[in-house]
Structures are given as structure tokens and as C-alpha cells.
A and B are shown apart, each in its own frame.
Chain A
Amino acid sequence: MNLLKLFVKTLPLLLAANLVDASIPLAPRMGAGGKMDMFGCMLSNDFYIANLAAYQLDPQQPKNAKTMLFPLCQEIPKVGETQITVDMLDRDVRHKPVTLKIFNSDKQLLSETPATVAKQGYISTNVNFPKAGHYDLAIYVKDQDLNVAPELSALHIPLTVALVVPGPPASLGNVLVILLGIGAFAVALGLILPRLMKPQAA
């Protein structure tokens, strides 16, 4: 019985220890092509890899709303103010100056960040997409190790704005099933644990 108690006591700790080593990302979210993806919106070329998140605030939503903004990938549903955030995933790139530029389909520059060394990897810029269409997010890295011209090694991410009708992805149901399963397990554990932990009469 002592061993059983020990097992029940240590199980949550062990499960937690097992989760500690989980690396990015922590939860499935919208990926390239509008599909739910455990890797998030991870995009790469031969040189660099980055995770993209675009955020659009709904103008109908009150400013003090506590709802979390849902990170979008390459398909941005509406025109207007959008925050573009990239996470440079190569560790060495976090010591190198990175510039973000956003161009429209006529190659006109809409937004540009100053060259930034992002020690945490994150670089953000705000852009106002004026009309529906195709845009290009270009990530330039001044790479002192490679000496490759930033124009040649730039990671180009195509963005579409207000061109797709957003709808629930097919795999969203699977995520809900998993969440429900975890919830049911937690409830069951809550009911069983107190009974097992109860001291028994000698």
C-alpha cells in the first residue's frame, strides 16, 4: 500500500518532469496553408528559419477585452493594421542584425524595421495593409559568418491579405478531442486520488 501511495504521489511530478523537456511549440496553432500545426507557422529557406505570427485586432472588439489575439500565419483575413512578429529560430542569428521589410505586389516598400539584434529572437513591426492582395515579408540577416549578401540569403514569406475566407480548420476537432480527454483524465484523477490517499484503519 505504501508503494501505491508513493506511486500516486509521484505520478504528477513524473508527468510534469516529462513535459519539461518539450521544446517549441507549446500548443498547435495555425500553420502555413491554414492548417493547424504543432510547429506553428514555421517557414524557412536554405539559410534561415523563422516562426511567423500576425495579429489583427478586431475593430468591433472593446479595447479592454481580455480575449487573447489568435496568431495568424500567412493568410491574413482582413486589410488594415496588423502586427507582424517573427521569431528567428537559429540561435546564431540572435546575435546578428536582422531587418524586416514588407513589400506590396508592386515591390513598393510598406514597412521596414531598423537593423536589430534580437537576443530573444523576436522582432515585430506594424503595417497597415491598404487593400486585399499579395504581399512579401522579407527577412534580411547581416550574417558576418557567411558573408552572403543579405539580398541573396533573405527569407521571403509570401502573405495574402483579405483573399481567403477564414473558417475552422478540419483538424481543430482533433485538438478539441485531446483537450476533452485531458479534462476527463484530470476529473477522474481528482475523484480517485482522495480515496487512495485516505488513511486506512489498521
Chain B
Amino acid sequence: MAVPVDVIPRRPTLLFIVVLSLLFVLMSLSTRTRYVGETRTMFERTVMTIFSPVPKAVNWVGQSASDTYHGYLDMRRAVNENFTLHQKVIDLTAENLKLRQSEGDLKRLRSLLGYADEFSMPTTMAQAVMLDTAGAFKSMIIDRGSNAGIQVNDAVVNANGLIGRVVLTTRDLAKVQLVTDSNSSAGVLIERTRRQGVLRGDGGAAAQLYDVPSLADVQAGDNVLSAGIDGIYPKGIPVGVIVKADKGQDLFKAIIVKPSVDFGSIEEVIVLHTRKIPNDVVRYTP
């Protein structure tokens, strides 16, 4: 049976409409999981896994070239440093003797005051292999995944402060949502006054601090730390510095926070395997 001539040109249009509809459904599902903060779609993870050798290879080549270049520079510098270090060893040995005496004193005093040992949580070092800070959505891919014990909602930090949280893991990669992402939220407090608020990314280079009453004492230059009340970020991690605190339009202040981390120069990061709050505890309603 012959196919009518006018039907043939319409087939791509039909396919086009069907494809757009399916993609719209996929986007809707993805949007929902973004807010829940749980694992994203299996489809996204599959695509990421298939193409994961590419960014890893690029990172490996870049790292090797960088290591070779810096290795040469380091070798030249090492000769000069060696001489200086010999002298320092002599000085530090003398200082070490003094400090050992002080350490003994400190331990004794601590035990007297009943200080508890510092709480330590398991961590994993990782390297940033891709960083997407263009547009309103900010994310980063790191070179460690579920094989290294990384889970969704693990906090990610570096020496300067809070970077974000893990939103997706594959076996050897993980995607991190940065605190400046327009969908990111974190419970924070102002170090000086201990006033708590919610930090949300503004999709640009900064973030905004919400839910701080207009009568609260807030000044530019105040340090902002994680409050440890959102079930994701541990308490006390530096988040940023307040650069602007204006009287808002309603009952709350309009506060702009400059992140303490320079997202353009992230290399190594530390993933904190934070203790997850069970779902039945989160969703329990009396």
C-alpha cells in the first residue's frame, strides 16, 4: 500500500513533538528531585557514567603537564630551600624541646578541665575536575564517587570554607551543588551575634541571607558560619562575610554575603561524610 505523499514530511514534525514532550517530562522529574535533594534521575547518572572517561582523561593530562612543569621549578627552588631548611632544623629542634614541655602541661590542664576529645568525622580528599559557574546554576564535578564512600548530601569544603553539597554520585565521580547555586539553601549563623538565618545562592557570585529580622544586629564585615541546623552542613564551617545589610522591604533585612571560597580557583576539596538524618525522622509528623 502506497504511503500518501503529504504524510512523509510530517513524520519528523511528529517525532519532534514527541521528543519535546518526553524531554519536558524528564525536566519536570529532574526539577522535583532538585528540591527534594535526593539522588537525581537514573538517566542523568547513566549519561554521566558513560562519558566520565573524558573529563577524567582531560584532568589527568592537565595534572601531568602541571606536575612536570612544577616539578622542574620545584627542583630549582629545592636547592636554595635545602640550605635554608638546614638552618631552620637547628632552630626548630630547640623550639621543639620547649613545646614538648608545654604540651605536657596542656594535657594535664585539659584533663583537669574535663575537655572532651575533638569530634572527628570521616573525610575524603577529592579533586575538582569540572567547574560550572556560568549561568544561574553552579556546580562542580569531583573525581571521587560512591566507591570512595561519597553519598548524596555529603558536605564539601576546602581550607577557606564551605563549597556546597553532593547532589549526585556515580562510582567514580560526584556532582556538587555550590552554595551560590540559585537552588542552594543552607542554615547559617552570624558569628558575632549568633543570629541564625537561611543562606540562598543568588545565581551570581554571591549569596543572600534570608529570615534575619530587620531589628537584628547585623553589620557589614560580620563573619557567617554554618549553623548545623539543616541536617547537611556541620556547625562552624566558615561560609562568607556580610558585605551589605540593608533594611528590607518587609520584616526582614536584605543581606548580601560574599562567599569565603573563591570558586574560580578550587582545586582540591574535602568531602565530609556527615551523619545523615533518616528519612522517617525528617518526614515524621505527629
Q: Do A and B come from one complex?
A: no
Give the B-binding residues of A (Cβ under 8 A). Answer: none
